[in-house]
Amino acid sequence: MKKFIKLFVLSLVLTSFISCREVMKLRNSARKTKGQMRMLDRSLNRSKKQLGLDSKKEEITEDTIDPGYAPMEQKNMLNSYGYLYDALNGDNQEVTSSNFYWDQEKEVYYVKDKKYRKILPDKEVFGWHPYWMGNTWENYPFELLSTLSFFSYKVDPLNGSYSNPEQIKEWRKTALIDSAKLKNTKILITVSSHGRSNNNEFLGDRGKWSVLIDSVTRLIKDRDADGIDLNFEQLPYMKRERFNLFVKQLREQLDNKINGKSPIISITLPAVDSREIFDIQELQKYADLMVIMGYDYNTGNQVQGAVAPLRSVEGINISLSNTVEFYLKNGIDPAKTVLALPFYGSMWTGNVDKNGDVESKFERKVTYREIMNLFSKEESVNSNTSPFLDKKSMTNYYNLTYPDNTTKEIWYDDDFTLGKKFDYAISKELKGIGIWALGYDNGHEEIWDVIDDRFASKEKIVTNPITDQSGYAVQFSRFILKKKEIVITAALFFFFSVVIGFLITLSDWKVRDSIARNQFHRTIFIALVFTFLTPLVYLVNELIFLKSSWVYYLVFLMGNLTFYLSSFIKLKTYKKP
């Protein structure tokens, strides 16, 4: 019997040793295969260029880039790309999708090929089409837009009429409206008034209100639109009640002037600045949608960071979650609330001083399309320009350093980070999400795939991403890590106390006899020994600095040795006196 046990134990040891060797061989093979794949990719790219199948420019040679730096050509591309609004206010933007065709008879565009589902009736996907985006609307997936608002009717504070006739002319003739209606997308016109002095001037005279309401009513009737979007930014605090009265009058007169349907009124709300001025509970009596502008958190002269941070960073208590909680506490109706999010990022530029410190300042906004196009170009990217994910703000960023000791930092959202922010809006039971601005993603459909997944499917189950990252279990883990010295010390005292107690217990012949007689007790004994071996192996590894592969061998050897020795526990039995 003893020979059989010895043979069995020996076979276990040999099997364990061989298994460890095979595992190490597999790991080495995996590393080798990955290296070969990378070499194959490089060879394939070279072959494409030699055959003329790659339209990209020649790669920057190594001697033009200092190790660890982003290429200067990339910086030149970023600089020459132009400022956002300068570029967008020029000629009509090129439409890069082939998923539409023009119906000359009806003078509308139809989307084809790409199949999207329809947004659920109880959900809302709201988007602004800025006039400067030109014909990029031809690429919009209208199936995934509940409401589209033409931006904008710019209020003339002196008389209440509009101050931008060219854009109003565009409203009257654009085929955008007809194409959207074919997909049952509701159409609004945004009425914008920015600046405290302008708003003070306009809201101070009720006669100007009537001029605006009459003018907008005609524009709505001309295009059989569905309503109006109010975008009043930087309201004077003293005009809080006047704004309430204006919205009330707008509701009453629109209902009277437009027969057959009740026009939609949406009101945009600021993320941070002046948000306390808006009388939420009063305004939502007359509004159908309350659209929170969840962007522009970190632009201007602030510290570089996310345009729309999901959670606040240390020392700066501004974030999407902070904004949404503010409005919920102030009585906003979630069933009317839309959280608008950015399809753009922010670029910061800086200089590295002699001490290695960087002083940065906000440079400009960059569209999602611009970011994707710039950093998808092989000649513009090196190994040091991979994006990082800031999990707290749930935002991506690039941090680029150039040989001339200048830096560029770009913060932006993509389909993954926006998906998490969509999940947050859904978890708060908000009606939906908004987009500033449509067309900023022109040619990139991945974000729309996420919208389709979140707002066109009844089966989708989402969780609050903040709870996922800040739930009780995560908070408890963070507490443990923060107090790890105390926890480790207490654990060591407890461990050694248990070991000493275990050894003292084994000194009693009754305990040893119980272990020897009972198979269940022997199993528990072996399990305890294995448990005590775990920290022992760790200590050996830390103190003796064994190579990782030898740790596996040591564990198997000690385990098998324990198993072997345990078979000799029952050397002698005792009769109870």
- Euclidean distance between CA atoms 155 and 152, whole angstroms: 9
Quick one: CA dihedral 56, 59, 64, 66, positive or negative? positive
- Euclidean distance between CA atoms 419 and 425, whole angstroms: 10
pLDDT in tens, 195-253: 999 999 999 999 999 999 999 999 999 999 999 999 999 999 999 999 999 999 999 99
Q: With contact defined as beta carbons under 8 Å apart, do 189 and 229 qualify?
A: yes
Q: Would you say residue 577 lies in a domain? A: no
Residue located via tokens 């592969």: 549
Please report the pLDDT score of residue 21 as a whole number: 52
Q: Where is the domain boundary, 470, 485, 511?
A: 470
- Euclidean distance between CA atoms 557 and 130, whole angstroms: 71
What's the angle, vertex CA 57, arms to CA 54 and CA 60, rounded to 5? 125
Please report the pLDDT score of residue 66 as a whole number: 37
Q: With contact defined as beta carbons under 8 Å apart, do 215 and 254 qualify?
A: no
Q: Would you say residue 242 lies in a domain? A: yes
Same domain, 147 and 291: yes
Same domain, 313 and 385: no
Q: Would you say residue 519 lies in a domain? A: no
Please report the pLDDT score of residue 405 as a whole number: 86
- Domain range for 313 is 120-343+414-470
Same domain, 454 and 318: yes
Q: Would you say residue 562 lies in a domain? A: no
Same domain, 125 and 214: yes
Q: Would you say residue 138 lies in a domain? A: yes
Q: Would you say residue 81 lies in a domain? A: yes
- Residue 195 DSSP code: S
Whole-model pTM: value is 0.67
Number of structural domains (the chain) is 2
Same domain, 246 and 288: yes
Q: Would you say residue 539 lies in a domain? A: no
- Euclidean distance between CA atoms 447 and 67, whole angstroms: 34
Same domain, 146 and 75: no
Strand 395-401 relative to strand 100-103: parallel, antiparallel, unpaired? unpaired
CATH number at residue 145: 3.20.20.80
Q: Tell me the backbone φ, ψ of residue 115, rounded to 5 degrees.
A: -105, 115
Of 386, 407, 381, nearest to 397 by C-alpha is 386
Same domain, 70 and 189: no
Same domain, 463 and 349: no
Q: Where is the domain boundary, 364, 397, 412?
A: 412
pLDDT in tens, 410-453: 999 999 999 999 999 999 999 999 999 999 999 889 999 999 99
Please report the pLDDT score of residue 303 as a whole number: 72
- Residue 129 DSSP code: E
Please report the pLDDT score of residue 401 as a whole number: 82
Same domain, 310 and 456: yes
Same domain, 382 and 425: no
Q: Would you say residue 563 lies in a domain? A: no
Same domain, 408 and 433: no
- Euclidean distance between CA atoms 534 and 540, whole angstroms: 10
- Euclidean distance between CA atoms 87 and 94, whole angstroms: 12
Q: What is the DSSP string of 345-398?
A: EEEEEEEE-TTS-EEEEEEEEEEHHHHHHHHH-GGG--TT---EEETTTTEEEE
pLDDT in tens, the chain (577 residues): 455 455 554 555 555 555 555 544 554 454 445 444 544 554 555 455 444 454 433 333 333 333 345 555 555 555 544 444 444 444 445 445 444 445 555 555 554 456 788 999 999 999 999 999 999 999 999 999 999 999 999 999 999 999 999 999 999 999 999 999 999 999 999 999 999 999 999 999 999 999 999 999 999 999 999 999 999 999 999 999 999 999 999 999 999 988 778 999 999 999 998 899 999 999 999 999 999 999 999 866 567 889 999 998 766 778 999 999 999 999 999 999 999 999 999 999 988 888 878 888 899 999 999 998 877 653 334 445 678 999 999 999 988 888 888 888 999 999 999 999 999 999 999 999 999 999 999 988 999 999 999 999 887 666 777 766 655 555 566 566 667 677 777 776 777 777 777 777 777 777 777 777 777 777 777 777 777 666 666 666 655 554 555 555 566 666 666 666 665 555 455 555 5
Same domain, 135 and 270: yes
Provide the 10 A C-beta neighbour count for residue 178.
Answer: 16
- Euclidean distance between CA atoms 270 and 320, whole angstroms: 11
